[in-house]
Amino acid sequence: MLMLVDCSKCRTTLQLPPGAQSIRCAICQAITHIADPRSGPAPSPPPSSSSSSSYQPGHVPPSAVAPSPYNHAPPGQPPHAQGRKRALIVGVSYRHTNHELKGCINDARCMKYMLTNRFKFPESSIVMLTEEDPDPLKRPTKYNMRMALYWLIQGCQPGDSLLFHFSGHGSQQRNYNGEEVDGYDETLCPVDFETQGMIVDDEINTTLVRPLPRGARLHAIIDACHSGTVLDLPFLCRMDRQGKYIWEDHRPRSGMWKGTSGGEAISFSGCDDNQTSADTSALSKITSTGAMTYSFIQAIERGHGATYGSMLNSMRSTIRNTDSGSELSGAGGLEPQLTANEPFDVYTKPFSL
């Protein structure tokens, strides 16, 4: 199992060779020593919690279960997730910082409401991370996001439907192994990214995409800047304004397979890798939302969710038809994107969560 670790100095995500106990960062040359993944302390849950979710990364004696695949994972295996539908919703507002966003917690609430009411996701099978949650384990820190991503995929079986929604900042960093077409890795920014670093697309792919078994389905809805290929899925649907499309091959030149283990993975993202997304009140006219999350929910509510093609066209139309003088006019030609584990006909494949 591939292990990803953060450089102890510059926080760049590094791929640790099997069996290695230390690794030198190619960027800052610092040496990071690796501890046994089962030996690190994990945050203890509060004495009582009002949450109904089964997600509780509390301490389990390491001798009782197999080690976790990540050195940042808490000792032992997370509890078994409930139900055949499971969702992780992350809304990061970066309150009281220079990076503050207004609509991300609104996005998280709206997504949870839609999943429980329209798509019948059990509330007990939804984990939501936001800064407004008093539970320290439910704040969108890098540690908690990593644990929740692992919770989402663990125990996944054929027939399961998984969903990952993120609303917050996205960014890029130089890729030095030649596996990115544009030379950059895409990243998601936890609330503590300035001190703990960002979550890189390689890690998201390794955690969520590659273990997905045949017969299981994963949808990602990523409302962030530079998010076009943030799951590192092999194929990107390049669609023009008339709705004509081709599938671009984004498989690494090294030949490394970054698809699933037979399952189906599809991602809607807020914009292309070289674009910035938008946090705006121009769409709802009432409150701030992420442009992509709003347009995604509106496509479903307006009955445009029959196929993936109709979804993508509806989302783009909602954003494009916003008043040209609005806050979106400077959003870098904002165009939601679609990536997938394998190409398909977007106008015949039914959309379903």
The residues carrying an active-site annotation are: 169, 225
Rounded CA gap, 196 and 34, in Å? 17
Residue 230 identity: V
Q: Which residues of 285-295 are buried (b: 16+ CB within 10 A; e: fewer)?
A: eeebbbbbbbb
∠ Cα 271 264 121 (to 5°)? 85
Taking the CA of residue 3 as centre, how many other CA atoms within 13 Å lie in the half-sphere pointing to its CB?
22
Q: How far is CA 142 from the centre of its chain?
A: 12
Which of 255, 250, 272, 243 lies closest to 342, judged by CA? 250
- Alpha-carbon torsion 210, 212, 217, 222, what sign? negative
Which of 325, 338, 222 lies closest to 280, judged by CA? 325
* Edge-first strand listing for the sheet containing 264-269: 126-130, 85-91, 161-167, 217-223, 264-269, 337-340, 235-239, 245-249
Q: How far is CA 31 from the centre of its chain?
A: 29
Rounded CA gap, 232 and 316, in Å? 22
Contact predicate 115/353, CB 8 Å? yes
Q: Kindly report the backbone phi and psi dihedral angles of residue 151, in degrees, each rounded to the nearest multiple of 5, phi listed first.
A: -60, -40
| Secondary structure class of 249 (helix, strand, coil) | strand
Contact predicate 80/162, CB 8 Å? no
